[in-house]
Each structure stands twice: as C-alpha cells, then as structure tokens.
C-alpha cells in the first residue's frame, strides 16, 4: 500500500496536478458558496470542459470541485443560514445559531477541521479498501456484474429522497435512454430517429447538463424576485475554538467520520443522509439534547465530519467496481468514460498513476481547503452578493461552450435543449433525475452483461440465483425493496386504524 | 379527480406511458431474438414494457389521489434558456464564437426576473471576453471568433 501511496503522491505533487487540484478546490468552494448551485450542477457544467484536459488533471480537478463545493456549502450554512447544497442543511441548524451568538469563527474552524479529519480518514479508507475490493471484483463474471448493477440501481432509487415508485421508474427511463445508439452486438442503430449524430448515443454530458443545470436554473427563475440575505460576519471576533469547544467536538467528529464513511460507500445514500444521521446520533447521545438547534458545537462538528467522510468514501464503489452510488459519482464515472477509460476494477491495475494520484490529490486538496477556507471567508461572503441574474447566463455559457467543444457540432446543443425541457418537466412532476442518470450510465453495461450471462447459461435465467455472489446481490436487492415497502404498509395501516378508530 | 392538467402523478404517469409506448413501438422494428441469443430488440422492449407498467401505476395513483404540481410552471424562463442554447449552437456553427455568445447572453438574460440593458451588456462583454480568453487562448479550442474568419 505504501508503494502505491508514494506513487500517488509523486503524481499528485507534480506542479501541473497541484495547480489543477488547487483550481478545482478553489472553483468548487466558490461555487459551493453560491446558493442554488450545488456540486451536481457545478460538475455537470464543468465536465465538458475537462474533456479538453488529460485524464489525470481532469479527474483531479473534478474531484477537487466536488469536495470543495462540499466545504463551500457549509460556509454559507453557518454565515447566512443558506445551505449551498443539500448536505449542509443540517449545518445550518446549529452553525447559524453559533454565528448569531458571535461564534461564527469557531463554528467555521471546527467545520473545517472536522471535515479535514474526516477527509483524511476517508482517503485512507479508499486506499485500504480499494485494492481488495478491486481484486474481488476482477473475479466477477457477467451474472455477478448484472446483479451488482441491479442492486446499485435499486438501492439508489429506493434510498434517495422522493417518491420510491417514480424513482424506480426513472431508473428504467435512464436505462431506456442508454440504449440510444448503435447496438454493439448487431451493429444496428437503435432509437436514432434516422439521425447519424445519434448512432453514437447521446453524449453523457448533454444529458447531465440538461437534466441538472438547465432544470435547476429554470426552477430558480420560475418563482418571484430575488431574496436578500443577512450575513453575520461583523461578529467574527475570534477564529480559534476554545479548549472546551475542541473537547466537545472530538467524539462527534470521530462518530461523524464513522457514520459518514459507512453511508458514503453505500449506493443511494450519500453526504446528506450521513449528515442527518450523525445529527440524530449526537442529539441522542448528548447529556442535554435541548442545546441542539441553539448553537451546540457538536451539531456542527459531527455532521460536517460526516458529510465530508461520505463525500470521500463515495469514491470506493465508483473507482473499484465502476458502479456509481450517486448522481455526482455517475458524473465522475462519465468523466472517466469521456477520457476513454473503461471504469471498473481494472482501472487500479492498468492506470495505477491515475487511481493513486487521484487519492493522493484528495488528501492534498483537503489540506488546501483548511488553509484556503478560513482566511478567504471574506471573499466567499462577497461572492454571496452576486445577484442570480448575473450568474445564470454565465452558467448557461459554460454549458453551451463546453458541450459544443466535445464534437464541435450544433446538434449537441439542440439535444441539450431537449434534455433541458425533459429535465425541467421531470423536476416539476417530482420525478428525481438522479436515478435516471445512474440508469443512463449503467444501461449499456447492464444489457451487455445480461446478454453475456444468458449466453453462458444457455438462456437459463436461474444463473443469477445459482452463483453464490450473484445470489447474495439479488437477495440484498430484494431486502432493500421489501424493507422500504414495509414502512409504507405500516403507515397505511396506521392511517386506516386512525380513520376506523376516530 | 379535479384538474388533470395540474395533477402531478397523472402527468408523470402519462409521460412515462407515452415514452414507454413510443420506445416499445420503435423497438418492434428490431429483431427480438430469444433469451439465449438476444436480438437488439430484446432489452429495449422489456424496458419499455416495464416503463409503461410504471406509467399506468403512477397515472392511476394520480387519478385516485389528487396532488397538484407545486409552484408555477416557469415556461417563460424555460423558453428563453432553450432558445439561447439552440441559438448558440446554430450561430456558433455559422458565424463564430463572439456573435454566438452575445446572442446567448442577451436571450438567456431575458428569461430572468429583471432585465436591465446596461447590466446585461456589461455582463455580456465581460463574460464573453472571459470565455474567449479561457476557451480559445487558454484551452486552445480552434474556434473562429467572428463571421468570415473561417
């Protein structure tokens, strides 16, 4: 492992990669600070541009944007009570209260340090868990891969927020869109509407930008005027937390890291659920739970550690198995594919410089964030004052130029427009686009493995249940489905009982 | 049942059903094959079938339990943003980057809450210069800047 990490650091510490890492965390933090533009939109909008870079700097920069946005989100949560992205909603609860009491400095410092500790542990976990997982995955055959992807998709749809039935439907919609293009086995063009541009399939970045960036902008514009925010910066008297603060935060950070690392590695759950669970744990364990929501430092330290740990460990299934657990990870995987690298367990052995370089860069990036975040708070706060009417045309610009640059084809922009309309309609009808993008990424792989599995078994579908590893993935998928259906039944029962009793 | 045009699940179900049916119909042209040797039509037809089933389920659920679409539909901002994207692609291909950016900024800004010419023009100039600097000079994308520079 140490040889690998040394290789990683030698890659990540090259001047060029350090620069892209810095650029990534800087841009990520800046955009994470801006309300209404989360990590997903940021990555979707900058993804096409990284196509013009070499694979290693491209991925290092994207990863930097991802966890930078995570950091930036908590800064605004504490100072303005505005979560820059969903995972920092929890940080608002106690962080903003601390800021109102004049303790914005310690809140920001604890958030940064907690995130850094969690980020280090997360990075170490990837380095530890990666090789054995990839080794196991290399032995997977087609049936195992199919079952694993099925499980990942079901988990992502069911555990994500929103309506479960519609999320599952979105997975299938994504799988169906994934078919567009030429069938590898027969060479037949499917769903191409007679357009030669569609025989290669719809570019991944087109779908991502349409579904996430365009729909998000329109959603922000549909309601009334702009909001004004009150910023608590004049109250920053001291930055350093007191000894009592550190003592109170130590165990919450440790627990948050554990909870976050666990949820991050699971498909479908991510930083948001991790932060929320940690907050609940801390509240339960506190001697005086009534302090929570009124500026308890544990309520900042725990969730901040959790969301950053989860952000790191989310890379484990993505990098080692080639199976993304969340929409953001699907975008990272898409970035690999755009660079011509087939995602999967072979990445680690065939491109060790990329894999370990990325991991080392995450640690470096986390360190940069601690250094960057505190002194630059003033700058981040200034960014908040940029009105949205200047921001959204600029976001559109990145989306437009980026997507044009991939094929130099106006057709791609027409497709972005169509994907944008679809994305907005889906969001309005409360159909989550995140499961759709997962289905879209995994669709072609699933078909390929399904065909191969059934070819091996001579058309016998029991192959998925007779091989032990595949069987366990199938059982897990079933359990997830049953487990999530149960509370619904219970709730219905309760409703019926209430109506009957009342 | 109330208003079907504002019924969230009815509309979602209908959308799924229409896409599923369209996909199924198109996939009828592709050979189905068998489970052992799947043709190119196998996977799409199965998926489209499942999607239609989801569509029916969600649609019926919507009829049984009315839930309105939340908030207003932002057709106006959607239209401006879509037009700005299409215009960018079209003009970029014909006349180059700078005219495409100018049209894109002005059209998309029209989709916002307030539109001040002075502000939009400054934004257009500053961001276009930024885009030309980053994309053409920084990343070296081979785009003509003006009409006639092809």
Residues B31-46 have a mean pLDDT of 86
Contact B129/A at CB under 8 A: no
For residue B35, give how far its alpha carbon lies from the nearest alpha carbon of chain A (Å): 5
Taking alpha carbons only, the member of A64, A121, A443, A421 closest to residue A261 is A121
A229 lies in some domain: no
All residues of chain B having their beta carbon less than 8 Å from the beta carbon of residue A413 are 85-86, 88-90, 92
Spatial distance between the Cα atoms of A46 and B55, rounded to a whole number of angstroms: 34
Q: Quick one: what percent of chain A has pLDDT higher than 70?
A: 91
Return the residue in A218, A399, A430, A447 with the most chain B beta carbons within 10 A, the one to mutate for interface testing: A218
Read off φ and ψ for residue A189, nearest 5 degrees.
-80, 125
A351 lies in some domain: yes
Q: Could you report the per-residue pLDDT of A107-156, keeping only the tens digit for each?
A: 888 888 888 899 889 888 888 888 888 888 888 888 998 998 998 888 88
Spatial distance between the Cα atoms of A414 and A209, rounded to a whole number of angstroms: 12
Which residues have a Cβ under 8 Å from the Cβ of A244 and sit 6 or more positions away?
Answer: none
Contact B69/A at CB under 8 A: yes
Identify the H or E element spanning A189.
strand A189-190
Radius of gyration from C-alpha coordinates of chain A: 23
pLDDT band at A497 (very low <50, low <70, confident <90, very high): very low
Contact B55/A at CB under 8 A: yes
Q: Could you report the per-residue pLDDT of B77-98, keeping only the tens digit for each?
A: 999 999 999 999 999 988 989 9
Are residues A429 and B109, on separate chains, in Cβ contact within 8 Å? no
A423 lies in some domain: yes
Q: Which long-range contacts (CB under 8 A, 24 or more apart) does B100-108 make?
A: B100/A400, B101/A397, B101/A401, B101/B127, B101/B128, B101/B131, B101/B132, B102/B128, B104/A393, B104/A396, B104/A397, B104/A400, B105/A393, B105/A397, B107/B80, B107/B83, B108/A392, B108/A393, B108/A396, B108/B80, B108/B81, B108/B84
The Cβ of residue A381 has, within 10 Å, a number of other Cβ atoms equal to 19
Using the structure block, give the residue that is written with the tokens 């079907």: B4
Spatial distance between the Cα atoms of A319 and A329, rounded to a whole number of angstroms: 9
Nearest to A404 among B37, B92, B119 (CB): B92
For residue A101, give how far its alpha carbon lies from the nearest alpha carbon of chain B (Å): 35
Q: What are the helix (H) ranges across A180-297?
A: 204-208, 215-222, 243-265, 271-285
Helix (H, G, I), strand (E, B) or coil at A258: helix
- Tell whether the model's pLDDT for residue A331 goes beyond 50: yes
- Tell whether the model's pLDDT for residue B150 goes beyond 70: no
- Tell whether the model's pLDDT for residue A6 goes beyond 70: yes
CA distance between the termini of chain A: 64
Are residues B58 and A425, on separate chains, in Cβ contact within 8 Å? no
For the residues of B74-117, what is the DSSP string, one character each?
Answer: -HHHHHHHHHHHHHHHHHHHHH-HHHHHHHHHHHHHHTSS---H
Q: What is the pLDDT of residue A140?
A: 87
- Tell whether the model's pLDDT for residue B47 goes beyond 90: yes
Q: Could you report the per-residue pLDDT of B109-146, keeping only the tens digit for each?
A: 998 888 889 989 999 999 999 988 888 887 778 888 88
Note the pTM of the prediction, 2 decimals. 0.84
Spatial distance between the Cα atoms of A259 and A285, rounded to a whole number of angstroms: 14
Taking alpha carbons only, the member of A360, A348, A352, A358 closest to residue A9 is A360
For the residues of A9-73, what is the DSSP string, one character each?
Answer: HHHHTSHHHHHHHHHHHHHHHHHHHSTT--HHHHHHHHHHHHTTS-HHHHHHHHHHHHHHHHHHH
- Tell whether the model's pLDDT for residue A234 goes beyond 50: yes
**In total, how many domains does chain A have?**
1
Nearest to B85 among A185, A396, A429 (CB): A396
Domain range for A364 is 2-223+236-501
For residue B139, give how far its alpha carbon lies from the nearest alpha carbon of chain A (Å): 7
Return the residue in A422, A429, A443 with the most chain B beta carbons within 10 A, the one to mutate for interface testing: A429
What is the token pair recorded at A291?
Answer: 């302090």
Q: What is the pLDDT of residue B123?
A: 92
- Tell whether the model's pLDDT for residue A35 goes beyond 70: no
Buried b (16+ CB within 10 A) or exposed e, A257-286: bbbbbbbbbbbbbbbbbbbbbbbebbbeeb
- Nearest chain A alpha carbon to B106: A393
- Nearest chain A alpha carbon to B14: A429
Q: Could you report the per-residue pLDDT of A421-452, keeping only the tens digit for each?
A: 999 999 999 888 888 988 998 888 888 889 88
Mean of all residue pLDDT scores within chain A: 83
Q: Are the CB atoms for A70 and A311 separated by under 8 Å?
A: yes
Nearest to A397 among B48, B104, B141 (CB): B104
Are residues A172 and B71, on separate chains, in Cβ contact within 8 Å? no
Using the structure block, give the residue that is written with the tokens 């165990």: A251
A449 lies in some domain: yes
- Nearest chain A alpha carbon to B93: A410
Beta bridge partners of B128: none
Are residues B74 and A394, on separate chains, in Cβ contact within 8 Å? no
SS (H, E, C) A452-485: HHHHHCCCCCCHHHHCHHHHHHHHHHHHHHHHHH
What is the token pair recorded at A106?
Answer: 């310690």
């Amino acid at each position: 492992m140490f040889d690998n990490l040394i290789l990683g650091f030698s890659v990540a510490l090259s001047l060029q990669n350090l620069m892209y890492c810095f650029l990534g965390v800087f841009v990520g933090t800046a955009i994470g600070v801006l309300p209404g533009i989360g990590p997903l939109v940021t990555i979707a909008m900058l993804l096409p541009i990284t196509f013009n870079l070499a694979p290693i700097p491209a991925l290092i920069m994207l990863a930097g944007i991802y966890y930078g946005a995570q950091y930036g989100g908590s800064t605004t949560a504490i100072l303005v009570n505005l979560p820059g992205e969903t995972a920092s909603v929890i940080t608002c609860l106690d962080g903003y209260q601390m800021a109102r009491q004049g303790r914005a400095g310690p809140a920001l410092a604890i958030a940064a340090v907690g995130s850094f500790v969690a980020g280090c542990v997360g990075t170490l976990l990837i380095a530890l868990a990666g090789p054995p997982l990839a080794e196991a995955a290399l032995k997977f055959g087609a049936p195992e891969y199919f079952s694993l992807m099925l499980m990942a998709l079901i988990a992502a749809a069911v555990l994500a927020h929103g309506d479960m039935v519609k999320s599952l439907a979105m997975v299938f919609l994504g799988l169906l869109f994934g078919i567009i293009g030429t069938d590898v086995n027969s060479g037949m063009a499917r769903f191409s509407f007679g357009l030669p541009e569609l025989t290669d399939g719809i570019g991944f970045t087109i779908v991502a930008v349409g579904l996430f960036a365009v729909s998000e902008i329109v959603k922000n514009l549909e309601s009334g005027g702009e909001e004004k925010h009150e910023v608590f910066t004049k109250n920053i008297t001291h930055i350093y937390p007191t000894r009592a603060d550190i003592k109170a935060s130590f165990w919450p950070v440790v627990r948050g890291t554990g909870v976050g690392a666990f949820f991050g590695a699971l498909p479908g759950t991510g930083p948001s659920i991790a932060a929320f669970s940690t907050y609940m744990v801390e509240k339960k364990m506190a001697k005086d739970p009534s302090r929570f929501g009124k500026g308890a430092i544990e309520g900042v330290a725990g969730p901040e550690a959790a969301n950053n740990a989860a952000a790191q460990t989310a890379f484990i299934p993505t990098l080692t198995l080639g199976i993304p657990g969340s929409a953001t990870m699907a975008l990272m995987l898409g970035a690999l594919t755009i660079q011509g690298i087939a995602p999967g367990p072979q990445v680690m052995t065939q491109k060790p410089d990329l894999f370990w370089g990325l991991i080392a860069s995450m640690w470096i990036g986390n360190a940069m964030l601690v250094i960057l975040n505190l002194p630059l708070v003033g700058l981040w706060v200034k960014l908040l004052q940029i009105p949205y009417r200047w921001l959204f045309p600029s976001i559109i610009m990145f989306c437009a130029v980026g997507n044009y640059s991939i094929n130099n084809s106006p057709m791609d922009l027409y497709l972005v427009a169509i994907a944008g309309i679809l994305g907005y309609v889906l969001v309005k009808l409360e159909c989550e686009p995140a499961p759709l993008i997962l289905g879209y990424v995994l669709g072609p792989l699933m078909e390929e493995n399904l065909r191969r599995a059934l070819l091996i078994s001579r058309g016998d579908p029991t192959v998925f249940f007779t091989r032990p590893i595949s069987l366990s993935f199938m059982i897990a998928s079933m359990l997830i489905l049953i487990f999530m259906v149960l509370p619904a039944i219970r709730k219905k029962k309760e409703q019926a009982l209430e109506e009957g009793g009342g | 049942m109330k208003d079907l045009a504002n019924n969230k699940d009815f509309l979602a179900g209908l959308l799924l059903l229409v896409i599923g049916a369209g996909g199924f119909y198109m996939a009828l042209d592709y050979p189905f094959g068998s489970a052992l040797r799947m043709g190119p039509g196998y996977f799409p037809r199965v998926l489209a079938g499942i999607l239609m089933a989801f569509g029916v389920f969600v649609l019926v659920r919507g009829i049984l339990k009315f839930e309105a679409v939340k908030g207003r539909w932002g057709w106006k901002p959607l239209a401006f943003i879509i037009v700005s994207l299409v215009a960018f692609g079209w003009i970029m291909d014909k006349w180059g980057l700078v005219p495409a950016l100018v049209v894109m900024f002005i059209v998309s800004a029209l989709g916002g809450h307030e539109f001040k010419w002075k502000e939009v023009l400054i934004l257009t100039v500053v961001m276009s210069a930024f885009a030309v600097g980053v994309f053409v000079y920084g990343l070296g994308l081979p785009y003509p800047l003006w009409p006639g520079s092809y």
